[in-house]
């Protein structure tokens, strides 16, 4: 019983992390139809930069901020410098992101090497708190869950209650119409990409604190984002939340009760969703 | 597109390749040696230290062996067996090496052994690859391993954990692939024989850093946790175990209680004092030969590791073995390298960690170090040598037919619940 | 289709667009191993040929079908694994079937796998296909790594060799090269042929406007699934040669790195004509083997990634496209012409 409850809680907290990473990915795809396969690289790069910042300044929170800001800038530069000139050429954009991810992964390996980096969270976030039934649970993971919920709500409010958010949603529905109605779509795209990339960098530091960072994490989180977004539906942040919940829980239950094939189950769920409802749970038909 | 263009492009490519396509040849006063290590990918740092070890051996003999000059050519892999075979092929077929030292990792070793069988004219000497079956099952007649395998590395630890530390019931946590299977087998042979019980074995998918489910599944009525994870993953596991309120002592695999773990920031450090482990080297051994080796390493490589890793040590030993055998036969590699290979197989090699001999499968019989984590006067943790287990052979003292009957390493081999 | 039944050599040659200049290239390829060392013949030459075949399967789907599928290496690896599982391997874990049953079975299973992937991915189509095929490829990789009963997990299989037929050991340098050359030539011809057949034309029309083709009564999804199947046959052939070269197969063969490499090769060469993948494979194999001699071997991936990026940014049609642009530029008088008139 205790194991089951712990596993559910682990699943929820992992889902929180996946949501953070995948929400940026789905925003960028939903609006700009750009499958950003360098998303995982942004996660890892943000984590490395955040680590160096936290190490240099001694403040973990500065590291988090550095992760978010540095990746937002990178995202902005990518959109303005590269993708803006390829509007409508989705395949080409995707190929460019693949190229960027290959180069980034190798450069990160060159700069930060193959070792694993452990973050140093502040003391009040470390350790366990006593809980009924499960005896003890790491504070950090609960904090991660809380932060994710807060960010999810903030994101929802941003998209549904602000003007820019309204324009982003309109763009996801019909990009041509948005442009025709006089909105500077390039500015919206830039903001969206910056936000998406920033979220990846933020998740990198926050997730890296829980699970450490090393080469290969970029691929892992890219794949997680892919599966979450395929299951939850493209372009929908709420869909990303639902997808993250499903995948996070499935992964932890798999690891606890069937560790040999646990990793494969998440992909089976993805295949099942594709077979029954190809556009994802909350996606719109193509 | 006009035909001229496509044909010209192809012809230019073909001509370019032909121009470069001549194999190299050695002259009679030079011996070409290839050294293969993982110089690409995540294990690059380890591969670099391996090269340092081999280079140190070459330097100490002025790049001469058996009266002939040694020409060393380096090969690079990325820890995948396919890349190791490709690199070996380039060294043997393109660069024309007569002796090849390498590779670094276990699965690469199995692949290179199989390649060695197709190249009987070249002598293959191991690097640090520690898979059991490289020499135990279906060995190649031209593959020599002067370093011990992953199971040998754990000799004596099982007995020590049961009898001296008093751990009667344990669980194991290790990654789900062949090297950890080998380590667990080596540990459990001694542990089960002494009467211990391994209640459960947790196999973590490779690359997985989230140990929370495992931590949750560890039962309360055990005495210790045997952890055979790499240093950084071990830090993760310990930190997650600690945060979840875990408090059982640990037993370490050969690569677990390394400098990463001992030097990590945070509260987990003090938890580690008293953790036993076993492996082919021990950083703080007081033996003068070992200390001389460490001093030579530090002098030659001021920007290397603080102390030579087992990779530097392994490649050093293998290179030394080659040089000594070449000296014995005065560099004679004629007649299919017959004399050289006999010298390799029969020599008793003096290494910084004791004497090494080869068994009938050309596998090393060497000493193993049993260590325990202690706190030094400056507050830092280090691995103190508890005892040296002498002359460990590949069957760890078990009769050969019994050992072979256990079967190849796997998730469920052996069991003693 | 009726023309097929009564085709004679000249008309077949015409259909394939064969011209005398092709014979020159063919002659060069045939005499190549007689001039090059065994290493160059096998490690470089044969590898370019069968990597080209696998990349050709991707080019077929992407160039003619508009389907960018990242599962081609996965299918190739599946066929390679089947050679080990159904045939003999050094661990004695295979079924031990004879070569004339193993090889066709491997190709059939690889093709069935490709068709299944096609069925899963066609319903979404377009840009989603990259993500889905990548995810399927990774799932298969994890499965082969965790499963010991069939796939022998992390260690994979060794001792995979082509059979000794007609007194020839087909793993020897010259026979292996000619075998790869034959399969590459057949695949090239097959792709050319299919691309000009009714099926191929329909596929290209679907690529251009699926909705219209649907309205015209064509079964769009069926066409795409069949395309996956055809590409699967090619990929399976390439995969079998791949595992024969190394004599082994393991999860590392179908890891995400090799999977992306096939895409890199196909795009580098050019997705517009079947010769593109082979040119891309040549560049890739040469770079990989000689990077250690020319530049820092550790940064091979940066080199290949940058090359890939540059090609995609300046010439979406890969090296072939660059070549065409360069020739067109030279032929029209180069810089001087640029002064006088706008380039087309």
CA distance A226 to chain C (A): 7
Is the pTM of the predicted complex or chain greater than 0.90?
Answer: no
Prior bond to A8 cis, omega within 30? no
| Number of Cα atoms under 13 Å in the Cβ half of residue B62 | 5
CB contact under 8 A, C305 and A260: no
Of B354-368, C13-27, C209-223, C228-242, the one with minimum mean pLDDT is C13-27
**Domain membership of residue C62 as a residue range:** 36-279
CA angle B62, B66, B72 (to 5 degrees): 50
pLDDT in tens, B9-36: 555 555 555 444 444 455 678 999 999 9
Neighbours of chain C (3+ CB pairs under 8 A): A, B
Contacts of A217 (CB under 8 A, 6+ apart): A40, A43, A44, A47, A208, A211, B209
At residue C2, the pLDDT reads 45
Q: Which tokens go with C112? A: 């069935």
- C-alpha C119/C-alpha C117 separation (Å) is 5
pLDDT in tens, B388-411: 999 999 999 889 898 998 888 888
Q: What is the CATH number of the domain that holds C67?
A: 1.10.3470
CB contact under 8 A, C39 and B23: yes
At residue B389, the pLDDT reads 92
User: Under CATH, which number does the domain A2-115+138-276 receive?
Assistant: 1.10.3470
Mean pLDDT of C319-323: 79
CB contact under 8 A, B212 and A252: yes
- C-alpha A62/C-alpha A55 separation (Å) is 10
At residue B19, the pLDDT reads 45
Q: Where do we find the tokens 């706008």? A: C342
Residue B77 has pLDDT above 50, yes or no: yes
Residue in A128, A214, A256 nearest the CB of B216: A256
At residue A133, the pLDDT reads 77
Most confident of A272-276, B234-238, B347-351, C207-211: B347-351
Kindly identify which residue of chain B lies nearest to residue A2, measuring between CA atoms.
B216
At residue B36, the pLDDT reads 96
Contacts of A88 (CB under 8 A, 6+ apart): none
CB contact under 8 A, B114 and C44: no
Residue in A115, A220, A259 nearest the CB of B232: A115
Q: Which of C161, C162, C180 is nearest to C33 (CA)?
A: C180
Q: Give the residue with greater pLDDT, A237 vs C338.
A: A237
Tell me, yes or no, whether C320 lies in a domain: no
Q: Which of B231, B181, B237 is nearest to B209 (CA)?
A: B237
CB contact under 8 A, B80 and C286: no
Tell me, yes or no, whether C333 lies in a domain: no
Q: How many domains does chain C have?
A: 1
Tell me, yes or no, whether C342 lies in a domain: no
Residue B1 has pLDDT above 50, yes or no: no
CB contact under 8 A, C125 and A274: no
Residue in A91, A102, A261 nearest the CB of C308: A102
- The H-assigned helical ranges of chain C are 2-5, 9-16, 20-35, 38-39, 47-59, 72-86, 99-122, 128-146, 173-196, 198-208, 210-215, 220-246, 256-269, 275-294, 300-314, 318-331, 334-340
Q: Give the residue with greater pLDDT, A127 vs A11.
A: A11
User: Looking at beta carbons, which residues of chain B come within 8 Å of C323?
Assistant: 1, 5-6, 9
User: Looking at beta carbons, which residues of chain B come within 8 Å of C38?
Assistant: 23, 93
At residue C131, the pLDDT reads 84
Domain range summary for chain A, segments of one domain joined by +: 2-115+138-276
CA angle C326, C330, C335 (to 5 degrees): 105
B71, β-bridge pairs: B32
How would residue A281 be classed by pLDDT, with cut points 50, 70 and 90?
confident
Mean pLDDT of B65-84: 89
Of B11-15, B83-87, C52-56, the one with minimum mean pLDDT is B11-15
pLDDT in tens, B125-136: 999 999 999 999
Tell me, yes or no, whether C116 lies in a domain: yes
CB contact under 8 A, B203 and A260: yes
- C-alpha C84/C-alpha C96 separation (Å) is 9
Contacts of A267 (CB under 8 A, 6+ apart): A227, C135, C136, C138, C139, C142
At residue C260, the pLDDT reads 92
How would residue C18 be classed by pLDDT, with cut points 50, 70 and 90?
low
**With an 8 Å Cβ cutoff, is A226 touching chain C?**
yes
Q: Write the DSSP symbol of residue C60.
A: I
Mean pLDDT of A159-176: 85
Residue C159 has pLDDT above 50, yes or no: yes
Tell me, yes or no, whether C93 lies in a domain: yes
At residue B8, the pLDDT reads 52
């Amino acid at each position: 019983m205790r194991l089951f409850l712990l596993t559910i809680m682990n699943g929820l907290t992992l889902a929180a992390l996946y949501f953070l990473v995948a929400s940026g990915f789905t925003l960028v795809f939903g609006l700009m139809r750009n499958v950003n396969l360098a998303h995982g690289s942004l996660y890892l790069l943000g984590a490395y930069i955040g680590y160096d910042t936290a190490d240099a300044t001694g403040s973990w929170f500065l590291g988090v901020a550095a992760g978010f800001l540095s990746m937002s800038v990178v995202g902005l530069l990518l959109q303005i410098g590269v993708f803006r000139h390829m509007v409508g050429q989705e395949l080409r954009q995707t190929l460019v992101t693949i190229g960027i991810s290959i180069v980034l992964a190798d450069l990160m390996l060159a700069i930060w090497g193959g070792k694993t980096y452990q973050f140093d969270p502040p003391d009040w976030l470390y350790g366990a708190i006593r809980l009924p039934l499960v005896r003890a649970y790491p504070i950090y993971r609960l904090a991660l869950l809380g932060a994710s919920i807060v960010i999810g709500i903030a994101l929802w409010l941003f998209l549904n209650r602000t003007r820019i958010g309204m324009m982003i949603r309109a763009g996801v529905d019909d990009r041509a119409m948005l442009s025709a109605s006089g909105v500077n779509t390039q500015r919206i795209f830039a903001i969206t990409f910056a936000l998406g990339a920033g979220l990846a960098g933020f998740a990198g530091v926050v997730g890296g604190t829980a699970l450490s960072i090393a080469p290969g994490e970029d691929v892992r989180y890219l794949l997680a984002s892919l599966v979450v977004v395929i299951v939850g539906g493209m372009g929908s942040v709420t869909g990303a939340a639902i997808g993250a919940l499903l995948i996070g829980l499935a992964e932890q239950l798999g690891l606890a009760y069937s560790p040999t094939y646990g990793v494969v189950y998440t992909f089976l769920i993805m295949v099942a969703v594709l077979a029954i409802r190809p556009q994802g749970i909350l996606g719109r038909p193509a | 597109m006009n035909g001229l263009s496509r044909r010209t492009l192809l012809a230019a490519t073909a001509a370019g390749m032909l121009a470069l396509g001549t194999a190299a040849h050695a002259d009679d006063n030079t011996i070409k040696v290839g050294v293969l290590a993982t110089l690409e990918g995540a294990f690059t740092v380890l591969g670099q230290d391996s090269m340092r070890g081999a280079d140190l051996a070459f330097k100490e003999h002025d790049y001469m062996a058996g009266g002939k000059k040694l020409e060393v050519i380096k090969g690079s892999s990325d820890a995948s067996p396919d890349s190791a075979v490709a690199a070996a092929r380039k060294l043997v077929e393109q660069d024309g090496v007569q002796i090849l030292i390498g590779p670094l990792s276990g699965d690469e070793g199995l692949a290179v052994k199989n390649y060695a069988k197709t190249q009987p004219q070249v002598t293959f000497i191991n690097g640090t690859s520690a898979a059991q079956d490289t020499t135990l099952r279906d060995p190649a007649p031209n593959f020599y391993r002067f370093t011990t395998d992953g199971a040998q590395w754990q000799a004596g630890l099982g007995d020590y954990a049961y009898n001296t530390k008093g751990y009667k019931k344990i669980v194991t946590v290790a990654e789900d692939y062949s090297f950890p299977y080998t380590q667990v087998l080596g540990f459990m042979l001694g542990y089960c024989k002494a009467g211990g019980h391994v209640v459960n074995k947790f196999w973590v998918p490779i690359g997985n850093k989230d140990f929370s489910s495992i931590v949750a599944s560890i039962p309360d009525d055990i005495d210790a946790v045997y952890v055979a994870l790499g240093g950084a993953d071990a830090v993760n596991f310990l930190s997650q175990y600690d945060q979840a309120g875990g408090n059982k002592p640990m037993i370490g695999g050969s690569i677990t209680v390394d400098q990463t773990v001992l030097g990590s920031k945070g509260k987990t450090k003090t938890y580690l004092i008293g953790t036993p482990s076993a492996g082919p080297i021990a950083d703080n051994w007081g033996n003068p030969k070992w200390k001389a080796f460490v001093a030579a390493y530090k002098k030659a490589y001021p920007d290397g590791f603080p102390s030579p890793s087992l990779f530097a040590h392994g490649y050093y030993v293998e290179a030394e073995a080659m040089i000594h055998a070449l000296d014995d036969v005065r560099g004679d590699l004629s007649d299919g390298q017959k004399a050289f290979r006999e010298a390799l197989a029969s020599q008793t090699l003096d290494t910084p960690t004791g004497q090494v001999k080869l068994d009938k499968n050309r596998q090393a019989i060497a000493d193993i170090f049993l260590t325990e984590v202690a706190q030094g006067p400056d507050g830092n943790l280090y691995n103190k040598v508890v005892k040296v287990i002498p002359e460990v052979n590949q069957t760890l003292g078990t009769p050969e037919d019994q050992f072979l009957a256990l079967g190849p390493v796997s998730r469920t081999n052996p069991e003693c619940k | 289709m009726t023309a097929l039944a009564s085709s004679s050599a000249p008309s077949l040659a015409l259909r394939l667009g064969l011209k005398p200049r092709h014979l020159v290239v063919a002659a060069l390829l045939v005499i190549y191993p007689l001039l090059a060392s065994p290493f160059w013949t096998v490690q470089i030459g044969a590898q370019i040929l069968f990597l080209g075949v696998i990349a050709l399967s991707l080019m077929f789907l992407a160039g003619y079908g508009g389907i960018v599928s990242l599962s081609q290496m996965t299918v190739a690896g599946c066929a390679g694994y089947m050679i080990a599982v159904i045939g003999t391997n050094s661990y004695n874990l295979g079924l031990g079937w004879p070569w004339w049953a193993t090889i066709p079975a491997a190709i059939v299973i690889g093709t069935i796998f490709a068709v299944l992937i096609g069925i899963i991915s066609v319903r979404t189509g377009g840009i989603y296909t990259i993500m889905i095929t990548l995810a399927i490829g990774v799932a298969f990789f994890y499965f082969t790594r965790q499963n010991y009963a069939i796939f022998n997990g992390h260690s994979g299989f060794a001792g995979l060799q082509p059979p000794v037929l007609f007194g020839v050991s087909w793993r020897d340098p010259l026979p292996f090269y000619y075998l790869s050359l034959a399969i590459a030539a057949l695949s090239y011809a097959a792709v050319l042929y299919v691309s000009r057949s009714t099926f191929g034309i329909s596929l290209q029309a679907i690529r251009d406007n699926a909705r219209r083709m649907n309205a015209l009564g064509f079964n769009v999804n069926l066409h795409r699934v069949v395309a996956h199947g055809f590409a699967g046959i090619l990929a399976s052939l390439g995969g079998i040669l791949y595992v024969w070269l190394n004599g082994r197969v393991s999860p590392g063969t179908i890891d995400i790195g090799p999977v992306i490499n096939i895409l890199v090769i196909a795009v580098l060469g050019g997705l517009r004509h079947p010769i593109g993948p082979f040119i891309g494979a040549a560049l890739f194999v040469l770079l990989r083997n000689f990077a250690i001699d020319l530049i820092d071997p550790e940064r091979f991936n940066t080199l290949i990634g940058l090359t890939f990026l540059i090609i995609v940014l300046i010439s979406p049609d890969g090296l072939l496209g660059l070549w065409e642009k360069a020739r067109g530029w030279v032929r029209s008088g180069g810089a001087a012409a640029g002064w006088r008139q706008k380039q087309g």
